[in-house]
Structure 1
Amino acid sequence: MRKTKEKIVLVTGGASGIGAAIARAAAAQGHRVLIADIDVAGAERVAQDIGERAQSVALDITSDAQWSAALDLAWAQYGRLDVLINNAAIVRTGYVRNVAMDDHALTLEVNAMGPMRGMVATLPRFREQGHGHFVTVCSMTAFLPFPGLASYAAAKFALRAFHLGLAMEERDSPLNFTIVHPTSTETPMLEAEAASDEVPMAFLSDAVSADYVAQVVLEAMRRRKLEVFMPADRAKFVRRLGGNAAELLKIAGQAEQLGAHNLAERRKSKSEAA
């Protein structure tokens, strides 16, 4: 096994899904992990499951005060923070006409502004200590918007732009930047999408596991990759399609039909297994 230099890592959304998988994998690789989540009890359960290399911290990523408190804890406990992994996100499924404006606004506040607040709060501390790594868990919807996830995709578009804009500004600094774009992943968020009939394109392809995404994220972090797509073999197609508005509209109906078929098969399989 490759030896890993211990890092102090803060993972948002660490109480479940990809965040919890990242926390467990990071600790297994020899890092110390602060598991941050608005679900304090869930974060604590994950931390206790991991053991001495993990600690939970309450964090509502939409709160500047809670960001400051979480970062203060990192410096008080460890004297530094090496990596901030912005992973926390929410989903409010449904066609735009069927989603309340407050839910669209909340999606943007959590999924775009939340990580942005974290980076803004952490940036001067990273600069002062002379190192730091921003790792952003984004989404392939940052390139390919789905019907039923319009505001989610909008938030991810914005998040990618902010992350890379900041990386450009800090290109001559000692800071590192990595952004990772998972495909559909077996998490509570995907289950929420599966409960809706208005997000069929989320099921165009087989979902990957949270553990798989965690390994990709940590490998990208280790190698200091600037941007990583998964699955890599479809990334070029997705990015090209996402840049072609006419083609997007042309294939939307067929894509929704295929996704709906796959979703029906998923529901049938889960019902038979129950």
Structure 2
Amino acid sequence: MNRILITGAASGIGLATAQRFHARGWRVGLVDVNDNALRSVHAELGADTWFQAVDVTDPAACRAAADAFAARAGGLDVLFNSAGLLHMGPVEEVSLLNHHRTLDINVKGVLHMSLACLPHLKRSTRPRVLNMSSASALYGVPDLAVYSASKFAVRGLTEALNLEWRRHGIVVQDLMPPFVNTPMVTGQRYRAAVVDRMGVKLNADDVARAAEQALDSGKVHTPVGLPFRVTVLLEKLAPRWVTRELMRRLSR
């Protein structure tokens, strides 16, 4: 039986992915900072799932969670780093505390969990790490500046670890969706112009399905949704200034 540990599992993409893999018969570990929401998800999915409230900015807590899930499940095959934070707004109007928190969760959290799970993944026969990057890692997005920067970091970390950890037999991948209809996007007090220009056309299950497809492939990056896949293709073929101009128009 396959075993997957999911961060940010109490809502949004993490929840949809937990539901999808649980339905496929996987042993699912649920990690989230929201203990009450986590308990509700555990009650929904059943006693065969494992859960623990964890702040991914705490490396010791990440190690303890990885060890506890691996002990309960008999090992670990896939880590899905889904936990993330987004604060929309002009960069100078978002508090420095929120900028730091975004980087701590979106970047350091991925690093902490990946290192915490490494000893267990090395013992798996088909180990994977799947990270949540974003369409925002293609070109810097106004009013999402620090979030965008964090996803560039995730993209770079994914590419580097995919090369480094091949010596352990571990495939490291990421997902790159544009805006998804989750509380992280719809709950924003400030709405960036690019959201209305691009629209919110994906739901959490679309990304969960893409996660499933990514794990069945060897691709490092998985752009999610046909329009963004076309954008990625154009970005590869066109001069960089074309992407810059497109982003300028979308964010006006």
Q: TM-score, normalised by structure 1?
A: 0.84
- 1:215 matched to 2:209? The reply is yes
CA shift digits 1:216-244 (9 cap, x unpaired) = 11121133433211114432424655996
Question: 1:50 corresponds to which letter in structure 2?
Answer: L
Q: Is the 8 A contact 1:31 1:53 kept in 2?
A: no
The structural deviation recorded for 1:138 is: 1.3
Measured on the aligned residues, the alpha-carbon RMSD in Å equals: 2.1
The structural deviation recorded for 1:250 is: 3.6
Inter-partner Cα distance in structure 1 for 2:49 and 2:147: 30
* CA separation of 1:129 and 1:218: change in aligned 2, threshold 3 A: closer
* CA separation of 1:207 and 1:97: change in aligned 2, threshold 3 A: same
2:75 matched to which residue of 1? 80
Inter-partner Cα distance in structure 2 for 1:252 and 1:71: 39
Which structure has the larger Rg?
1
2:231 matched to which residue of 1? 237
Q: SS state of the match for residue 9, structure 2? A: coil
Q: SS state of the match for residue 170, structure 1? A: helix
**Residues 34-113 of structure 1 correspond to what in structure 2 (within 5 A)?**
34-113=29-108
Identical-pair percentage: 27
Q: Is the 8 A contact 2:81 2:110 kept in 1?
A: yes
* CA separation of 1:128 and 1:29: change in aligned 2, threshold 3 A: closer
Question: 1:151 corresponds to which letter in structure 2?
Answer: V
Inter-partner Cα distance in structure 1 for 2:13 and 2:244: 31
* CA separation of 1:226 and 1:60: change in aligned 2, threshold 3 A: same
The structural deviation recorded for 1:100 is: 1.7
Q: Is the 8 A contact 2:77 2:125 kept in 1?
A: no
Q: TM-score, normalised by structure 2?
A: 0.91
Moved more, 244-253 or 24-33: 244-253
Q: SS state of the match for residue 92, structure 1? A: coil
Q: Is the 8 A contact 2:202 2:225 kept in 1?
A: no
- Count of residue correspondences: 250
Which of 4, 10, 27 is residue 9 of structure 1 equivalent to? 4
Structure 2 gaps, min length 5: none
Question: 1:79 corresponds to which letter in structure 2?
Answer: G
CA shift digits 1:152-211 (9 cap, x unpaired) = 000000011011101111224321222111121110011133x314x1212313421111
2:134 matched to which residue of 1? 139
Q: Is the 8 A contact 1:27 1:53 kept in 2?
A: no
* CA separation of 1:32 and 1:125: change in aligned 2, threshold 3 A: closer
Inter-partner Cα distance in structure 2 for 1:129 and 1:210: 28
